[in-house]
Structure 1
């Protein structure tokens, strides 16, 4: 999470959406940088609403903070998680996807009780508006970087370049039509939210 206090902007870091590269480029310009632990670095909107927003409003007397996040196409997002969990250093752990096909991974993700290797959360849940009206003010597609970068450069008044960071291993991914249909049915909120991003 990055907080640009003067610009009244909070960047919420959805995992597997290129946020590490953005944070590396923009951390020097942020008033607050939360890079650890992962539960705070990747604080979803509901956690921002519960802890950070009240702090800004009560302690800092600021209630006009806007939020920004990036969302990745749902199948691509799951593919990134699958590849990330192929790394050798987690081989043998319950979260490893070594020896598991992408079909098996996605099928496991659609279950109510997900095994550890497929328990990667939900972008829709991460970004879900809160009952008090707190919501993501600016939402961008991972696959369409120019509008995001232009917004950040204009809003922050800085020029920057992104370097690739935290890149997952290259693995060929294919999803069978049956599993894709099941994913789209069981996780419809993910696709519906992504389709609303203009």
Structure 2
């Protein structure tokens, strides 16, 4: 999470949406950069609302705006799948070694997800709060030019994004039936993604 105090902007880091590259490029420009622990670095809107927003308001910032990036849901799962194939996870319950992507997506759709498929939800991360706190600026991961233009204009910077935290390329094929089930069961994920710019 990056906080730009003068510009009244908080960049929430949705996992697997390229936030590490933006953090690397902008952390020295930010008033506050929350890099650890992961539960705070990747604070969802409900955690921001509960902990950070009240703190900001106590010191005079009652109109901070929020920014986030959302990724195509199947592509987002693909990034998690590839990340969890890395050798350092071998032998751990969260590893996707020996599992193909179709099985990973099927496991993600279960009510009681196995550890390797328990990766959260973009829709839940970005879910508006009952008090009206919500993401003010939501961009699709696939529309990097619009996101970069917004950031450059809002922060008066020129971005030079490094490649960071990139998972290895691999086959991410799912059957037509699995994709159909996923789109139906996870319709809220697509609804959020489609609401981004």
Structure 1: segments with no counterpart, 5+ residues: none
Question: How far off is 1:197 after superposition?
Answer: 2.0
Count of aligned pairs: 197
Question: 4+ residue runs of structure 1 moved beyond 3 angstroms?
Answer: none
Work out the CA distance in 2 between the residues paired with 1:50 and 1:170: 37
Whether the 8 Å contact between 2:69 and 2:140 is mirrored in structure 1 is yes
Q: RMSD value over aligned CA atoms?
A: 0.6
Work out the CA distance in 2 between the residues paired with 1:170 and 1:66: 35
Work out the CA distance in 2 between the residues paired with 1:57 and 1:189: 31
Question: More displaced, 79-88 or 185-194?
Answer: 185-194
Work out the CA distance in 2 between the residues paired with 1:166 and 1:197: 23
Whether the 8 Å contact between 2:2 and 2:11 is mirrored in structure 1 is yes
| Residue 68 of structure 2: aligned partner | 69
Work out the CA distance in 1 between the residues paired with 2:88 and 2:196: 36
Alignment of 1:60-139 (within 5 A): 60-139=59-138
Q: Normalization by structure 1: what TM-score? A: 0.98
Whether the 8 Å contact between 2:138 and 2:195 is mirrored in structure 1 is no
| Residue 35 of structure 1: aligned partner | 35
Work out the CA distance in 2 between the residues paired with 1:86 and 1:110: 19
Structure 2: segments with no counterpart, 5+ residues: none
